Structure 1
Amino acid sequence: MPKPRILVLGAGPAGAAVALGLRRLGYEVCVVSEWRRFAALEGVSQRVLDGLRHAGLTRALASAAAPSPRRVDWNGASQVLNQEFLLDRPRFDAALRDDLRAAGVELIEARVRQIDSGADGHRVALESGATLTADFLVEARGRQAPLAGGRRRGPETLSLLNRWQQAPGPAASAVESLVDGWAWMARLADGRCYWQLTLDAANAELPGKEQLAAYCAQRRSQSALVQELFGAAALQASELHARSSTAILFHEASGTNWLRVGDAAMAVDPLSGNGIFQSLSSALQAPAVINTLLRHPERGELARHFHQQRVEQLFLRFARTGRDFYALEQRWNEQPFWRERRHWPDSAPMHAAADFSQVHVVRAPVICGDAIDEAEVVVTADQPLGIWHVQGVAVAPLVRALQGGAGLDRALRDLPPAQQAMLRAWLVSQGYRE
């Protein structure tokens, strides 16, 4: 049986993670990507670096700058909260491509002009005139991916990214809330500076395209934090790139021979959580989903259900994180920007209270080795998709035994002492009381 040829569109974190995972499974993978059209900077957390390491993106991981302090001015209070790692996107994107080449992934730097898809495969026409064919297609072009199919959209949001150069100095970043939005800003040690203003897309004060750079400079002049972090260089009009940062969830993130990952499956508000983290989160599961669709088609619907469930759950988790952070700003509750975002996407709590009486066992799709299969999982208030294992121990048999009337000592008696202690602690965290 010939090996299926897989085409990945996009060489960002999601596309690169999927391509490397598929190569490890022995698939022929070709990645098609054009370079980002603007220079950008992103601040990421340690969990993003852990995700890059887990995906095998070691060169991309090494491109992250050393951690720098992050200041937060929110709801009238100012504090330094943790640190963040600044990622220079041009350098990071080049490192992602180096990781792909090192793994033997074919990489074509080109822009896609047209895609014709059918049950028998895909034909991708490039702007160069070349045509590629594939048995399976992975859409990983982020927000640039075609917006086909039904989707859920959050409040329409616009981000204006400004960039300029000044004298070298200590790296740092900050975020501040404003009456009609918020701004994130950062300075690299080599003097490159970034400031991004995020507003409602319908903001009546936004000028025309030609005046946006001057408008942003004027907004920076009103910020004591900007002047403290950057100095006078920040008060001049600078290079600007406008982009949508509206949260989007696609209702259909897969088909029998295609899959959406990263921002192409769900894109979050930049305040909701780090975009690279959510991209990696959806991409790391994708190789098992694709392998199931190609090698175990009888479990295809199960695999697609698994992918869609987890994309939707990630989206809601990030959206609620953003909602709760927006709600912390109390000074401008009635301003349209804040009023709309403090209640979206719903009123469900970010974390539900533990209640062991509501814990139950169901059969659900899980990652089993290199494919998606079905197993008994434990559904809890905080884990609606279910938990299969806790540190390698299947927990459904334990919960069934306890709900059947067995005492805890009896239910755990065949396990080593260390595992018994670990499971007792897990049960307590789920609200269990003997």
Structure 2
Amino acid sequence: MAEAQILVLGAGPAGAATAIGLRRLGYPVTVVSDWRRFAAVEGVSQRVLDGLRHAGLGGALEQAATPATRYVRWNGEQLRLNQEFLLDRQRFDHALRDDLLQAGVTLVEGRVRAVRPGYAVTLENGQILRGDFLVEARGRQAPLASDRLRGPETVSLLNLWQSAPGEPASAVESLEDGWAWMARLADGRCYWQITLDAAAAGLPGKAQLADYCAARRRQSAWVTELFDAQALAPAQVHARSSTAILAGACAGTDWLRVGDAAMAVDPLSGNGIFQSLSSALQAPVVINTLLRQPQRAELARRFHQERIEQLFLRFARLGRDFYRQERQRGGQGFWARRQDWPDHQPMHVQADWHVVRVERRPILRDGLVDEAQVVVTADQPLGVWHLHGIELAPLVAELQAGASLSGLLSSRPAQHQRMLRHWLDKQGYR
């Protein structure tokens, strides 16, 4: 039987990781992507770099990641923190395409004009591509259904200009009505982005945005420390939404949403690329199940949807907690709206052995979504299947039935006993 033809719309980290994962499973994949229309840079952590390598995107990293000193002015405090890596998105996007081509993915440059059932994808130049399965990975530009969850409406204004070469550095600072992130690359390219409440910002028209942003930069001590006098003049501006959005449905029988097309987080969480990868790394297995095991379609869709929703809430709460750290402005409009969203549930729930239970849930096994007994805890609502290869559900079930822990562990290697005792202790077992 011929392999299903898979179309991936978008060649960002999520689309690229999904496409490469599908190629590893043997599927013919075509990625459709338009080039980024403006220059951008992002600050990422070491775990983002590790995730990119794991996804097969190591070539892109070699081209684009630059270590930089990071400064923070938040809640009245000024700090110099561990370095972050500045990711030049234009160079990174070019390198992603090289990684895709090396993996055997067919790459088509073009802007999508229409997507029709079938799937027939029409590009702006009139070209029509056909596929059996569609992956929506166009980020925030992807069409969204009406049943979506939105955070406080937020807008970011990205300014970029060329200055003299210097030491790479980045900084973030809180403002009365929002916050700003800025970075300087070694070749003198400079970036400054201010994030504001879309409804309350009172922004001028498009023609006046450059002057407005320049005036805001002149008020910042960080700007004068990090950049030269060129930073005080009007610069090129790109306005974009940075509202946190969760798509209502992220999976069907012949389509899947990944990355920002499934969930887009507030930039303060600092995990845009990481969350894109988190949703994309599971996608090839979900798609493989939908195509090869249609009787498990509902299980596969449930697996993908639940993990997208949990990732979204995790990152939304992480951003909320960063906003809460700015206590000096906690009662003001911009900050108040974001310090209580999406809810008041803590990032990490206190361990409680009494709520630990064993349930049958979807898991990943042998390249497919399967089902198994897992352990659901307060901090792991989707369940934990195994600990370093040791299935946990049988052990927990016997403990809850009254078995002795010493007796259950006596035949196991000493190293396994230590690991299991440590994990049980973290769940509140005594």
Instruction: Kindly indicate whether residue 160 of structure 2 is the aligned counterpart of residue 167 of structure 1.
Output: no
Alignment match, 1:50: 50
Of the candidates 193, 197, 208, which is equivalent to residue 196 of structure 1?
193
Alignment match, 1:72: 72
Deviation at 1:53, TM superposition (A): 0.9
Structure 2's unaligned 5+ residue stretches are none
Deviation at 1:63, TM superposition (A): 2.3
- The 3-state SS of whatever aligns with 2:301 is helix
Alignment match, 2:394: 397
- The 3-state SS of whatever aligns with 2:268 is coil
1:51 maps to amino acid: G
- Superimposed CA distance per residue, residues 135-178 of structure 1 (whole angstroms, 9 cap, x where no aligned partner): 00000000011123410000000000000111111101010000
Alpha carbons 2:136, 2:261 under 8 Å: kept: yes
Alignment match, 2:238: 241
1:3 maps to amino acid: E
Deviation at 1:231, TM superposition (A): 2.3
- Superimposed CA distance per residue, residues 189-221 of structure 1 (whole angstroms, 9 cap, x where no aligned partner): 111100000000012431111100100000000
Alignment match, 1:367: 364
Alignment match, 1:37: 37
Note the 1:279-428 alignment, pairs <5 A: 279-428=276-425
- The 3-state SS of whatever aligns with 1:365 is strand
Distance 2:23 2:146 in 1: 29
- Superimposed CA distance per residue, residues 54-91 of structure 1 (whole angstroms, 9 cap, x where no aligned partner): 11111112124342221110010011122110000000
1:361 maps to amino acid: V
- Superimposed CA distance per residue, residues 25-67 of structure 1 (whole angstroms, 9 cap, x where no aligned partner): 0001000000011100000001111111111111112124342
Instruction: Kindly indicate whether residue 86 of structure 2 is the aligned counterpart of residue 89 of structure 1.
Output: no
Alignment match, 2:135: 138
- The 3-state SS of whatever aligns with 2:350 is coil
Which deviates more from structure 2 when the two are superposed, residues 404-413 or residues 47-56? 404-413
- Structure 1 pair 245/414, CA: closer, same or farther in 2 (3 Å)? same
Which deviates more from structure 2 when the two are superposed, residues 16-25 or residues 76-85? 76-85
Deviation at 1:334, TM superposition (A): 2.5
Alpha carbons 1:249, 1:266 under 8 Å: kept: yes
Distance 2:418 2:173 in 1: 44
Note the 1:152-163 alignment, pairs <5 A: 152-163=149-160
Runs of 4+ that moved beyond 3 A? none
Note the 1:218-237 alignment, pairs <5 A: 218-237=215-234
Which deviates more from structure 2 when the two are superposed, residues 99-108 or residues 60-69? 60-69
Distance 1:421 1:333 in 2: 44
2:371 maps to amino acid: E
Distance 1:40 1:26 in 2: 34
Alpha carbons 2:64, 2:89 under 8 Å: kept: no
1:378 maps to amino acid: V
Alpha carbons 2:9, 2:136 under 8 Å: kept: yes
Deviation at 1:363, TM superposition (A): 0.3
Distance 2:61 2:322 in 1: 28
Alpha carbons 1:271, 1:322 under 8 Å: kept: yes
Distance 1:150 1:291 in 2: 27
Distance 1:188 1:273 in 2: 18
Distance 1:333 1:156 in 2: 18
Distance 1:32 1:202 in 2: 34
Structure 1 length as normaliser, TM-score? 0.98
Distance 2:258 2:201 in 1: 34
- The 3-state SS of whatever aligns with 1:62 is helix
- The 3-state SS of whatever aligns with 1:344 is coil
Give percent identity, aligned residues only.
Answer: 69
Distance 2:12 2:189 in 1: 22
Distance 1:189 1:280 in 2: 27
Of the candidates 119, 127, 140, which is equivalent to residue 122 of structure 1?
119
Alpha carbons 1:293, 1:303 under 8 Å: kept: yes
Instruction: Kindly indicate whether residue 20 of structure 2 is the aligned counterpart of residue 20 of structure 1.
Output: yes
- The 3-state SS of whatever aligns with 1:378 is strand
Deviation at 1:413, TM superposition (A): 2.3
- The 3-state SS of whatever aligns with 2:329 is coil
Of the candidates 233, 251, 255, which is equivalent to residue 254 of structure 1?
251
Distance 1:204 1:137 in 2: 38
Distance 1:116 1:149 in 2: 19
Alignment match, 1:63: 63
- The 3-state SS of whatever aligns with 1:255 is coil
Alpha carbons 1:327, 1:342 under 8 Å: kept: yes
Which deviates more from structure 2 when the two are superposed, residues 42-51 or residues 411-420? 411-420
Distance 1:85 1:302 in 2: 38
Deviation at 1:124, TM superposition (A): 0.6
- Superimposed CA distance per residue, residues 302-351 of structure 1 (whole angstroms, 9 cap, x where no aligned partner): 00000000000000000000111101112222321111000000011110
Alpha carbons 1:184, 1:195 under 8 Å: kept: yes
Distance 2:136 2:201 in 1: 35
Deviation at 1:183, TM superposition (A): 0.2
Alignment match, 1:107: 107
- The 3-state SS of whatever aligns with 1:67 is strand
- The 3-state SS of whatever aligns with 1:36 is coil
Alpha carbons 1:273, 1:321 under 8 Å: kept: no
The RMSD of aligned alpha carbons is: 0.9
- The 3-state SS of whatever aligns with 1:63 is helix
Alpha carbons 2:217, 2:232 under 8 Å: kept: yes
